[in-house]
Amino acid sequence: MSKAGGKKVVAGSIRPQWVAPSTALLALVTMASAFAGYDGLSQDPPAALMGWGGVGAVVIAAALMGFLTVATKREIQVDMEGIRVRIGLAKPVHIKWSEPHDYFYRSFTGTSTPSVVDSSVSTPDGRHIDVDDVKLPDHPNANLPALVEQYSTAANLPEIKKRLEAGEEVAFGQVRLTSDEIKLDDLSHQRDAGMVLQIDDGRLKMSADGKWISSQVLVREVANYPCLLRAIGQIRHARAPT
């Protein structure tokens, strides 16, 4: 990770994979149209339809190339302060780790301690950022979903623990947790030292009294699942990247 003002930063810009071949095709169209336009206007008498048609095609193809170059560009920055994403000419979306936000798995691997593949971050006021495992040119080894998970979890977990210690119920989407009870949708069970959450076909199940209890709760709909695992003691640490 690079540093900016003493802060470690992962930042860069990317475009969808289809943009490069599309731009190359438009460049060929531009060249062919330019040749046709020149050929038509160079004749005596000029072939106006072919000539000006070629000129028009050049203008349209060049405009499309410029539009694709600008409109599909996605700028991403992740650091200890938050995450910022801008797509094309749209207004940037910025979410700070210090403000209320929820982190969601969109896709993942694993069962008891999942590894994130794609994720998202959202705020109560409607801001939303999808985070996929893109390869930024200057940071090809940076796992953005995992990096965002680390920052978000380190920021949210202290407040969650504080609320639990104060006797409050904390909501993780369809999962609710207190200091002595966990509720998975319409299922509830007293917390104990041996309780474990696992994922089965994308849904949560928990071990209780020596048996597994399945639920219909989808993990991708559980807010701050990494914090939930740490709040019940299934995972012991939550540190931001250093």
pLDDT at 50 over 80: no
Mean pLDDT throughout 64-89? 84
pLDDT at 4 over 70: no
Query: What percent of the chain stands above pLDDT 70?
Result: 87
CA 143 – CA 128 distance, rounded (Å): 19
Mean pLDDT throughout 4-33? 71
Q: How many angstroms separate the Cα of 162 from the Cα of each of 22, 112, 167, 169? A: 52, 25, 9, 11
List the chain domain ranges: 2-12+74-95, 17-71, 99-231
Spatial strand order in the sheet of 93-96: 2-4, 7-14, 74-79, 82-87, 93-96
* Cβ 130 vs Cβ 118: under 8 Å: yes
Q: What is the pLDDT of residues 111-154, one digit of tens each?
A: 667 788 889 999 999 999 988 877 776 776 778 888 899 999 99
Spatial strand order in the sheet of 170-172: 170-172, 175-177, 181-184, 187-190
**Confidence (pLDDT) at 114:** 74
Pick 20 or 149 by higher pLDDT.
Answer: 149
**Confidence (pLDDT) at 98:** 96
**Confidence (pLDDT) at 140:** 67
**Confidence (pLDDT) at 5:** 45
Average pLDDT, the chain: 82
Task: Name the band, by pLDDT with cuts 50, 70 and 90, for residue 236.
Answer: low
